[in-house]
Structures are given as C-alpha cells and as structure tokens.
Amino acid sequence: MNTICAISTPPGVGGIAVIRVSGDSAIPMVDCLFRGKVSLSSAMPNTIHYGEIVTRSGEVLDQVLCSVFRTPHSFTGEDTVEIACHGSLYVQQAVLHALIDNGCRQAGPGEFTKRAFLNGKMDLTEAEAVADLIAARSKAEKNMALAQLKGGVSSELQNLRQKLLTLTSLLELELDFADHEELEFADRSELAELVKTIDAKLSALISSFRQGNAVKNGVPVAIIGPTNAGKSTLLNALLGEERAIVSDIPGTTRDTIEDTLNINGLHFRFIDTAGLRETDDTIESIGIKRTFSAAEKAQIILYMCSVTDPAPLDETTATRWKTAGKQVFYILNKADLCTPSGESGQNDQAHAALTNAQENNTFLLSAKYDSLEPLKQAIYRAANVDVESPSLDATISSTRHYDALVRAREALQHVRQGMRDGLSGEFLSLDLQDCLSAIGEITGEITNDEVLGNIFSKFCIGK
Ligand SMILES: Nc1nc2c(ncn2[C@@H]2O[C@H](COP(=O)(O)OP(=O)(O)OP(=O)(O)O)[C@@H](O)[C@H]2O)c(=O)[nH]1
Ligand SMILES: [Mg+2]
C-alpha cells in the first residue's frame, strides 16, 4: 500500500488536528470520504477546500479543511492531502480509521520525510534538519536546524565534492596519458594546493561540531567546589526553582543534579555536584567521583567557594581544565557575609588573592540574595556561540556527519602523504574515492536501508 496517512499534530486534544495523506491515491482516497462544493479529485493543486468527512457507513465525522497538493509540488513530492479537522481525540482517530478502511496505510516514523528524501525533494542532511527543527528548544537550535534545512551544510559539502571531483578528474586524465610522460595535466604543486584547500574546509567543518553539538544538546556547565559553598543554592537561583536540596549540613548533595536553562536563546545544561571534601563515606565518595566526571564533560566550570571558608582551586586541576579547553569561573559566594573592607582582613585577603590570580573570571556574589544576571551573561559569552551568527549556517551538529567527515579527512591525509611519497595517480585516486564516498554518505548520495532506517526511526510519526 503506497498511500500513507498519519496524524501530524501532537497526540492529545487541541483546537485543530492535521491528518496528512500522501501517495499515488491520496487525493481519490480522501475524496471518497469528502463532501464539499467541489470534489478533491478535480481540485487545483495548492488549494484548500471546506467540507465534511463522512464514513462509508454514512456517519458525519467532522467539518474539515482539506489542502490539496499535487506531485511534485508537495513536501513528499507525491500527491498529498492535509485534512485539518477539530482536535477531538475521537474525531482524529475516527478520520484516521476511515482513511485506513479506505485503503491507506498508517505511516511509520519519519515516513513522509523519508519519501521526500527518496523523491529527491531534499538531501539527507536537509531531511535530518527537519527532525532537528521539530526538536529545537532554543533560538540557536532553531537557527542551526533552519540553516541546515535550507541547504547550508549541503552547499558546503557540494562545494567540497566539486573540488574533489576536479582533483580526481585531473589525476585520471594523467592516468589516461600514462604513456606520454612529458604530458603533465596534474601539476603536483597545484594539486597539493587544492588538497590543502579541501583539507582546510574539512577541518573547519569538523571543528564546527563542538559548537554544533553544544547548541543541539545544551552547553554543559558544572558547578563545583567544597561542601557548603552554596552550589545548590546557585543552581536553584539560576533556574528560579527549588530543584536541589539546600541545607547548612556539609555534604547535602550526594549525586549530580542536572537541569536546563535558556540564556539569550542558547540552551545550557547546569550540573550541580557533590561538594568536594575528604570523606570515609562510601556513597559520598561515589558522589565526589561523579563530580570529577561532570567536570571532565563540562565546557564551562563554575568553581565556587564561600567567603567564609575560601578554598582556592589547586593549580594542577585549574591547568588541566584550561588545557582541555574549558572555561573556568571562580565564584566567591556569600558576599553578604563579607564584612566591610578593612574589618575582616581574612575575607578581603582571600578575595584579593583569588581576583589577582584569576583576572576577570572571578565573581564575588551572593547566590542567595544577588541578581545572577551578570554571571549568566558571562556564561553566555564563554559558550562562544553567537545565536544570530551566520557561522551557524555551516555548523555540523550530527555525530553521523562528524564521523563521516573525520573519515573523509583521513582519506585526504592519505592523499597528501601519497603525494609527498610520489605515489602514482592511480593510488591517489583510490584514496580520493574514499574521501568522496564519505562525503556522499552525509548527503545521502551513498546510503543503504540500514542507515536510512536508523535515521528516520528517530522521527515522530506524522513527519
Ligand atoms: N548568607 C548566605 N548563605 C548562603 C548563600 N548561598 C548559600 N547559602 C547557605 O549556605 C548553606 C549551604 O548551601 P548549599 O547550596 O546547600 O551548599 P552546597 O555547596 O550545595 O553544599 P553541598 O551540597 O553540601 O556540597 C545553606 O545554608 C545556604 O542557605 C549566600 O549567598 N549567602
Ligand atoms: Mg549541594
């Protein structure tokens, strides 16, 4: 059964619901159930028609609007009807059943988008962008998915592909004239330049993954420090809710606690952790191990201690985090307990020491009483993602793309090495083919059922 149908709006009651039907018989199948001024079979493409849906047994199910699209000018590239009915659960299900009784098949997850891909309406990166757009929770995610849907990533890859094809054809031309050694179509230094350019492009795409991944999954920010510093208080204040238990008993937080926050249209994952201290308690020790593991995974670390008990971060750890490319902020909490300057030499000294050592990355604040807006803005800047930036247009955010690009670059490295070793064009073009096919996997020029099944099974039904 080639004509598929599904409820495309979210499950549940709503103002309206949309049921999508696509395939060779989509228009006549809906037409059998439709009573309106004109029959849908004679309707012009891209028109909307008011009428009733009536079952074969004569039950009027609803008053609806049917949008009619004809191949190839529809999302799937096939004849399509979208039925907008009232969003009652009964009506939605009854219309769906009436369509199935009429010979339609219930669509699987992502089947409409899969058809759009198979019918050449979009390449695989654009099809994946549809799922990303549906899942977008922040402006940055939306911008990135929309750019990919509009072909931002595809066009970068097409450019690369074109360059690789030029390179391959130059080498192959040389092979054709292998007997005439005096003919040099593929000037080695020009080729080397071209390979260098392609390599730079591949590297740029590969390194955009860090940013793309952060946008898609949320930038991880770990709150770390000694017990009782006020880490859980900070998490709650940032989120504006009592997410973590706060108490003056050291060691209150035993496990990592994670929640998300949108700052300026970018998604952040804040992770509160078990306070650091020497302990014999087995469970607390496990919690502290998790604290270090959260630090390893974080992109930004908020190292927090209290002015009443300053405990600067040890140099070795600070260096390790920074070397790993993490942004570290030092937060001296409970500023409300700071005595006026001069009266409490200990507090002032601690603050001065931290400030001098850590330059602008130190905040003296009260998680309990102060506005955290300056800290939030500093965290946003540290993420180094400009939500409005056009650089998001060609940003890789999918592990599948990243993996294929790394393979493409590896193949290209072999070409570079081969050229340095003076290998013949024959061998070089084998590696070039590997590079081309890795890129072809991303856009879907080279694919198989397993890969497609894997991609589209993650979609929702109705898309
Ligand atoms: N005066 C003052 N007290 C604070 C401030 N922030 C936190 N506290 C208090 O400090 C105590 C410890 O706070 P928590 O947020 O539980 O500290 P924590 O770092 O999560 O502690 P552990 O989970 O044990 O590692 C609580 O009594 C808080 O009310 C602050 O800015 N000013
Ligand atoms: Mg805590």
> Binning pLDDT at 50, 70 and 90, where does residue 461 land?
confident
Query: So what's the pLDDT on residue 348?
Result: 61
Residues 143 and 74 occupy one common structural domain:
no
Q: pLDDT confidence of 284, banded at 50, 70, 90?
A: very high
Ligand 1 pocket check for 365: Cβ under 6 Å:
no
Report the CATH number that the domain containing residue 336 is assigned in CATH. Answer: 3.40.50.300
Predicted confidence band at 90 (pLDDT cuts at 50, 70, 90)?
very high
Q: Are residues 335 and 247 in the same domain?
A: yes
Whether 116 shows a pLDDT value over 70: the answer reads yes
Hey, which of 227, 233, 278 would you mutate to test ligand 1's pocket, going by the most ligand atoms within 8 Å of its Cβ? 233
Q: What is the pLDDT of residues 37-52, one digit of tens each?
A: 999 999 999 999 999 9
Please work out whether the CB of residue 275 comes within 6 Å of at least one atom of ligand 1.
yes
pLDDT digits (tens, 9 = 90+) for 375-426: 999 999 999 887 777 666 789 999 999 999 999 999 999 999 998 898 888 8
Q: Is position 73 within any domain?
A: yes
Q: Is 456 domain-assigned?
A: no
Q: Is 333 in the pocket of ligand 1 (CB under 6 A)?
A: yes
Verify that 175 and 285 share a domain, yes or no: no
Are 353 and 235 part of one and the same domain? yes
Q: How confident is the model at residue 181 (pLDDT cuts 50, 70, 90)?
A: low
pLDDT at 447 over 80: yes
Give the distance (Å) from ligand 1 centre to CA of residue 280: 22
The 3-state DSSP composition of the chain as helix, strand, coil percent (nearest 5) reads: 50, 20, 30
Place of tokens 């990919």: 148
Residue 220 Cβ contacting ligand 1 at under 6 Å: no
Banded pLDDT at 172 (limits 50, 70, 90): confident
Residue 228 near ligand 1, beta carbon < 6 Å? yes
Q: How many CB atoms lie within 10 A of CB 343?
A: 9
User: Residue 211 above 90 pLDDT?
Assistant: no
Domain co-membership, 15 together with 76: yes
Say if ligand 1 is within 6 A of residue 236 CB: no
Residue of higher predicted confidence among 108 and 461: 108
> Are residues 210 and 267 located together in one domain of the fold?
no
* 241 Cα: distance to centroid of ligand 1 (angstroms): 15
Ligand 1: which atom is nearest the Cα of residue 250? 24
Distance, CA 117 to ligand 2 centroid (Å)?
49
Give me the pLDDT at residue 173, please.
76
pLDDT class of 450 with cuts at 50, 70, 90: confident
Per-residue confidence (pLDDT) for residue 96, from 0 to 100: 97
| Number of domains the chain is built from | 3
- What is the Å distance from ligand 2's center to 230 Cα? 7
Residues lining ion ligand 2 (Cβ < 5 A) are: 231-232, 252-253
Among 30-34, 235-239, 358-362, 367-371, the minimum mean pLDDT is found in 358-362
Average pLDDT of the residues in 358-371: 87
Structure confidence at residue 454 (pLDDT): 87
Residue 452 in any domain: the answer is: no
Decide if 123 is inside a domain.
no
> Ligand 1 centroid to 370 CA: how many Å?
14
**Considering the domain boundaries, does residue 129 fall inside one?**
no
Q: Report the alpha-carbon distance of residue 386 to residue 382 in Å, rounded.
A: 11
Question: 12 and 83: one domain?
Answer: yes
Per-residue pLDDT, averaged over 368-378, amounts to 96
Higher pLDDT, 130 or 352: 130
Together in a domain, 43 and 153: no
Per-residue pLDDT, 286: 95
Q: Which helix (H) or strand (E) holds 430?
A: helix 425-443
Q: For residue 109, give the CATH number of its domain.
A: 3.30.1360.120
**What integer pLDDT is reported at residue 351 of this predicted model?**
58
Cα–Cα distance, 373 to 370 (Å, whole number): 9
pLDDT-derived band at 144, boundaries 50, 70, 90 = very high
Q: Which residue has the higher pLDDT, 363 or 352?
A: 363
- Residue whose Cα lies nearest atom 30 of ligand 1: it is 334
How many angstroms is it from 228 CA to the middle of ligand 2? Answer: 7
Whole-number average pLDDT of the chain: 91
**pLDDT for the residue 168:** 87
Asked whether residue 240 falls in the same domain as residue 144, the answer is no
Residue having the nearest C-alpha atom to atom 2 of ligand 1: 334
Confidence at residue 451, expressed as pLDDT on a 0 to 100 scale? 86
pTM above 0.85, yes or no: no
Residues 153 and 108 in one domain: no
- Whether the per-residue pLDDT at 269 is higher than 90: the answer is yes
Is pLDDT larger for residue 343 or for residue 127?
127
**Is residue 353 assigned to a domain?**
yes
For ligand 1, the distance from its centroid to the CA atom of residue 283, given in whole angstroms, is 21
My answer on whether 313 and 235 are in the same domain is yes
pLDDT at residue number 183: 56
Q: Assign 180 a pLDDT band (cuts: 50, 70, 90).
A: low
Residue 234 alpha carbon, nearest atom of ligand 1:
15
Q: Tell me how far CA of residue 426 lies from CA of 123, 169, 171, 174, in angstroms.
A: 31, 11, 8, 9
| 153 occurs within a structural domain | yes
pLDDT at 191: 83
State the CATH number of the domain containing residue 153. Answer: 1.20.120.430
Cis peptide leading into 340, omega within 30 of 0? no
Domain span including residue 45:
4-118
Does residue 282 sit within a domain? yes
Burial of 355 (0-12, 13-18, 19+ CB in 10 A): middle
Which residue has better confidence, 262 or 356?
Answer: 262
Pick the ligand that lies closest to the CA of residue 257: 2
Which atom of ligand 1 is found nearest the CA of 254?
23
Instruction: Looking at the structure, tell me whether residues 27 and 67 fall in a common domain.
Output: yes
Atom of ligand 1 nearest to the CA of 249: 24
Q: What tokens were used for 146?
A: 């929309």
Residue 367 confidence (pLDDT): 97
- Report whether residue 140 contacts ligand 1, using a CB cutoff of 6 Å: no
Give the pLDDT of residue 458: 85
232 Cβ inside 6 Å of ligand 1 = yes
pLDDT tens per residue across span 334-354: 999 986 654 545 556 555 555
* Averaged pLDDT, 320-333: 94
